[in-house]
């Protein structure tokens, strides 16, 4: 189910629907003690920047106009991704890239500006009414806030292609600065029964539902207590285990007479590819100041 379909079924304007969902998201993040970000751009406020991005890509020969849409030439992004063409097209279709769009020069091309369609919001542009493409709006927002390059770009591993690949390719074609990101951190995706958890499949498990019967800190620990770059499957048993480990950590923190000698080891473990599991294990074993350090560092207190 697309965002537009969900919004129409809700019977709300797109901006009102988005505002309600943002409220729930912010509430969940606060419950998990996720710190507020310094910048939180909204796509509908950066339409002019997307239009400038589209114009710059056209001027650079990296895009072309067809029937009121502006398409980015995607072959270089596919080539740099290391994917074979068949896989790239499959992923593009899965993520709404419309490889079957007959207006494109190449099925791997993607819309920077999409001509207006029924049921979708639209804005004026030099090419007619339409809306930003997904990859383009993120590229435009990121460059507007952070400039032509970033030190670290983080996101889910499922967004590696096509989203991050096209985002970076558009930014580089627009500015000429390479590489767009000096480092990438692709976190493992959450699954249920081996299937990726996603709005489109309707198999979401919401934070607010989990926190209804468990401490929010246990939900946070369940998410953190694993190799950060590996996919994982959610199950109620996994949350129960996290709650038990949290109780063990709290009990260990209450022990007296332990030395602070192990506290620096926590920093070393977390600096070693974010080894949260080993840090929690050490905190439970050592107790006292070490356990309290783990709880404070991981936002579990």
CATH number of the domain located at residue range(s) 37-187 in this protein? 3.40.50.620
What is the predicted pLDDT for the residue at 2?
43
Q: Of 69-83, 145-159, 228-242, 257-271, give the lowest mean pLDDT range.
A: 257-271
Mean pLDDT of 251-273: 85
Q: How confident is the model at residue 32 (pLDDT cuts 50, 70, 90)?
A: very high
Start-to-end CA distance of the chain, whole Å, equals 38
Residue 179 gets the label, from left (phi > 0), alpha (psi -120 to 50) or beta, of beta
Q: Are 76 and 57 in contact (CB under 8 A)?
A: no
Judge whether residue 139 has pLDDT over 90: yes
pLDDT computed for residue 11 by the predictor: 52
The residue extents of the domains of the chain are: 37-187, 196-297
Looking at residue 257, what is its pLDDT? 64
* pTM score, whole prediction: 0.89
Least confident window among 18-22, 81-85, 142-146, 290-294: 18-22
Burial class (CB in 10 A: 0-12, 13-18, 19+), 124: exposed
Residue 200's pLDDT band (cuts 50, 70, 90): confident
Report pLDDT digits (tens) over 216-250. Answer: 999 999 999 999 999 999 999 999 999 999 999 99
User: CA 301 to CA 33: how far, in whole Å?
Assistant: 10
Quote the percentage of the chain above a pLDDT of 70: 95
Which neighbouring-strand residues pair with 178? none
């Amino acid at each position: 189910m697309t965002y537009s379909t969900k919004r129409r079924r809700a019977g709300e304007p797109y901006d009102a629907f988005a505002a309600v969902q943002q409220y729930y998201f912010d509430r969940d993040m606060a419950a998990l003690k996720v710190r507020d970000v310094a910048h939180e751009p909204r796509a509908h406020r950066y339409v002019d920047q997307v239009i400038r991005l589209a114009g710059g890509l056209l001027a650079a020969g990296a895009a072309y106009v067809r029937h009121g849409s502006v398409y980015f030439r995607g072959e270089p992004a596919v080539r740099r991704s290391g994917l074979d063409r068949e896989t790239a097209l499959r992923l593009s279709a899965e993520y709404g890239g419309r490889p079957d769009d007959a207006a494109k020069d190449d099925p791997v091309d993607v819309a920077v500006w999409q001509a207006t369609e029924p049921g979708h919001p639209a804005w004026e542009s030099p090419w007619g009414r339409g809306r930003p493409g997904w990859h383009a709006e993120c590229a435009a927002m990121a460059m507007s806030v952070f400039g032509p390059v970033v030190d670290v770009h983080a996101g889910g591993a499922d967004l590696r292609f096509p989203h991050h690949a096209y985002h970076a390719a558009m930014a580089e074609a627009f500015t000429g600065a390479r590489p767009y990101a000096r480092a990438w951190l692709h976190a493992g995706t959450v699954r249920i029964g081996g299937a990726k958890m996603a709005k489109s499949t309707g198999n979401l498990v919401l934070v607010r539902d989990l926190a209804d019967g468990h401490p929010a800190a246990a939900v946070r620990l369940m998410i953190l207590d694993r190799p950060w770059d590996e996919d994982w499957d959610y199950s109620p048993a996994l949350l129960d285990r996290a709650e038990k480990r949290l109780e063990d950590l709290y009990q260990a923190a209450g022990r007296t007479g332990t030395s602070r000698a192990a506290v620096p080891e926590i920093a070393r473990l977390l600096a070693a590819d974010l080894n949260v599991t080993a840090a929690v294990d050490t905190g439970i074993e050592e107790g006292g100041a070490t356990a309290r350090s783990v709880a404070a560092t991981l936002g579990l207190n």
